[in-house]
Structure 1
Amino acid sequence: MPPPNTPPASTAGPPWWLVLLAIAAIAGGVYLWQRDTPKPVPPATTAPAQGTAPAAADAAPAPAQPTETVPPVPAPVADGPKFPLPGTVPDAASMPPADRSDAPILEALLALAKRDALGQVLNMQDFARRFVVTVDHLPRQLIPAQLSAVKRVPGQLAVAPAGDSLTLQPGNYARYDAFVRLAESLDPKTMVSIYLRFYPLLQQEYRAMGFPQGHFNDRVVEAIDDMLTAPEVSGPIRLVQPQVNYKFVDPLLEKLSAGRKIMIRIGPEHAAKMKKALRALRAELVR
């Protein structure tokens, strides 16, 4: 069930933002997964597809069990957060209005990467809201394409015919090289410092989405934990294309969250690097 005030989910697919989500991190890279669906030429009168069906994986190689165990969740205190913030945050009154927050957020992000690198990956307009929406939807099945914090991955999904289905080609993983390199280069301490600096604004956006008692930091950790338990798939990943978007042939893969699907789509080597970055980020968020 989508959150109360969230727009309908759409298709698309994202990447390193998994870690950027990492700013609340990636997260992945999730939007990567949905938004990245290749686009065969649809009829001119057909409206853009909504809802991104991630690349499908084949039923033969059943997904392995989660590759790691997520640390136990501390018991929340009354209505308090499950995961207390790892540091102090500014007073909410000191936050810029949401509609004027893009410039100060971008300035802060320049401590992580150069402006050009950020511009290639992030949708900076209305970034606070986009970031919150993307993080919140990583553990769900779809991310609203129109509100993704991450831009679409360049190129088209590489597939090859395989009987009555298609096979995801390993060469496709190279499309995520730049995103993964950037994610690996991000310093988790600096990311968390920026995150805490703007946390009151992010919390405000999260509650405005329809979670009046929610704690955004809890959702960030949940999104990271969800991606960390993404299965490793052995063998070819088979897809079908019932309409415009691709789906996994394997129903177990098709049911995975957007964040876990991203980890499959970027390939095992990239997924291992992303999980390492996410673990480092989680360690800074949960002390």
Structure 2
Amino acid sequence: MNPNLVRLAIGTTAIVVVGVSVWWFADQQIETAPVQPELPTIEEPALPPEPVPLPDIEEVEVIMPAPEPERETSVTQLEPVQLPEPVQPEPKLFDFVLPTLESSDATLMQQLRAKIASKSIELLADEGIIERFVATIDSISRDNLTFNQLPVERPVGQYKVIEAKGNIYGSTANIARYQPYLDLATSMSREHWIDLYTHVYPLLQNAYENLGYPDQQFHDTLLQALEVIKSSQKPSSSIALTQPNVMFEYADLEMQESTPVNKLMLRVGPEMNQKFRLLLEGLSGPLQQWQPPALSD
């Protein structure tokens, strides 16, 4: 045998044996080697950027202004404020103890004479002042007038007339007949008359109940009477009259047939009529606001 061929066969066989051994050994290594778990990638935090160097700033000297000297302020001395005095309620003019209705005349006249200096107070009736006043107001509220129940005396003297061109007219001289009644009405202030009215109201209500109105307020009747008077006719400067008998009558038939209250307000004349109306207007407002005591059961 050729010795070269023998060497070639041996070398080839050695190479094959070595290759197989290497492959077997490597295969065994892969099967037995443990699998390492894959670790997560941890990102390192980004570092903050380096600060940008600031440019050099020249130091500037700040000069503060010198403080101003304190100014002297003059303090004005204020005058003390005077507070207004508290308003005290006006004392009642009438505060006397009420008598019984039957004995009220003497007490009422005593109180009125102490407050009224005018001689017109003598116009008041001698007796039954409260009862007469209530009866008169009750009549007027029904647009009637009973002259024998008036709380004052009848006018003194005759009613004066003048003639002109065959006609008869009421004279302006008649103002003197009615002036004392206006003097009596104005002898006290409006507030004092209302004070007297509200003070003696229990007596007025008592007299009103005696007339046959036990369940009604006299105050309501008074307010109604004032409305009747205020709604009466206003006279003109000259009203023609006739005298068929002793008494004078109005030539105008409508006037003659009007109510006693209306004819009385015509008879006093335009000037006195206006004065009485102003007086009643001043009383109406406060009287409408006043509330009387409740009726007893």
So what's the TM-score if we normalise by structure 2? 0.58
Q: CA RMSD in A?
A: 2.9
Distance in 1 of aligned mates of 2:134 and 2:257? 23
Higher helix share: 2
Say whether the 8 Å CA contact 1:224–1:278 is kept in structure 2.
yes
Distance in 2 of aligned mates of 1:159 and 1:140? 30
Match of 2:263 among 258, 261, 267: 261
Structure with higher Rg: it is: 2
3-state SS of paired residue (1:239): strand
- Equivalent residue letter for 2:101: A
3-state SS of paired residue (1:286): helix
Match of 1:118 among 121, 137, 142: 121
3-state SS of paired residue (2:183): helix
Match of 2:171 among 166, 169, 172: 169
Identical amino acids, percent of aligned pairs: 28
3-state SS of paired residue (1:282): helix
Say whether the 8 Å CA contact 1:130–1:148 is kept in structure 2.
yes
Answer yes or no: is 1:96 the counterpart of 2:107.
no
Distance in 1 of aligned mates of 2:143 and 2:288? 25
Distance in 1 of aligned mates of 2:115 and 2:254? 37
- How far 1:285 moved relative to its partner? 0.6
1:157 paired residue number: 159
Distance in 2 of aligned mates of 1:253 and 1:112? 39
1:143 paired residue number: 145
- How far 1:195 moved relative to its partner? 1.0
| Offset from partner CA, 1:223-244 (integer Å, 9 cap, x none) | 1111112222325322334444
Label 1:111 to 1:283 Cα distance change in 2 as closer, same or farther (>3 A).
Answer: farther
1:216 paired residue number: 218
Distance in 2 of aligned mates of 1:274 and 1:284? 17
Label 1:182 to 1:146 Cα distance change in 2 as closer, same or farther (>3 A).
Answer: closer
Say whether the 8 Å CA contact 1:140–1:257 is kept in structure 2.
no
* Higher alpha-carbon deviation: 181-190 or 218-227: 181-190
Say whether the 8 Å CA contact 2:144–2:261 is kept in structure 1.
no
- Equivalent residue letter for 2:286: E
- How far 1:277 moved relative to its partner? 1.0
Distance in 2 of aligned mates of 1:141 and 1:167? 26
Distance in 2 of aligned mates of 1:146 and 1:201? 21
3-state SS of paired residue (1:157): coil
| Offset from partner CA, 1:108-157 (integer Å, 9 cap, x none) | 323552274311x2113111111111122224565333321111112110
Distance in 1 of aligned mates of 2:147 and 2:273? 22
Unaligned runs of 5+ in 1: 1-89
1:22 paired residue number: none
So what's the TM-score if we normalise by structure 1? 0.60
Distance in 1 of aligned mates of 2:163 and 2:149? 33
- How far 1:198 moved relative to its partner? 1.3
Match of 1:225 among 217, 224, 227: 227
3-state SS of paired residue (2:186): helix
| Offset from partner CA, 1:179-236 (integer Å, 9 cap, x none) | 2233234311111111111111111211221223222111111111111122223253
Label 1:122 to 1:215 Cα distance change in 2 as closer, same or farther (>3 A).
Answer: same
3-state SS of paired residue (1:110): helix
Distance in 2 of aligned mates of 1:186 and 1:236? 32
Match of 2:277 among 275, 278, 287: 275
Answer yes or no: is 1:107 the counterpart of 2:141.
no
Distance in 1 of aligned mates of 2:260 and 2:218? 18
Say whether the 8 Å CA contact 1:142–1:257 is kept in structure 2.
yes
Say whether the 8 Å CA contact 2:101–2:206 is kept in structure 1.
no
Unaligned runs of 5+ in 2: 1-94, 290-297
3-state SS of paired residue (1:101): helix
1:184 paired residue number: 186
- How far 1:106 moved relative to its partner? 1.3
Say whether the 8 Å CA contact 2:237–2:270 is kept in structure 1.
no
3-state SS of paired residue (1:150): coil
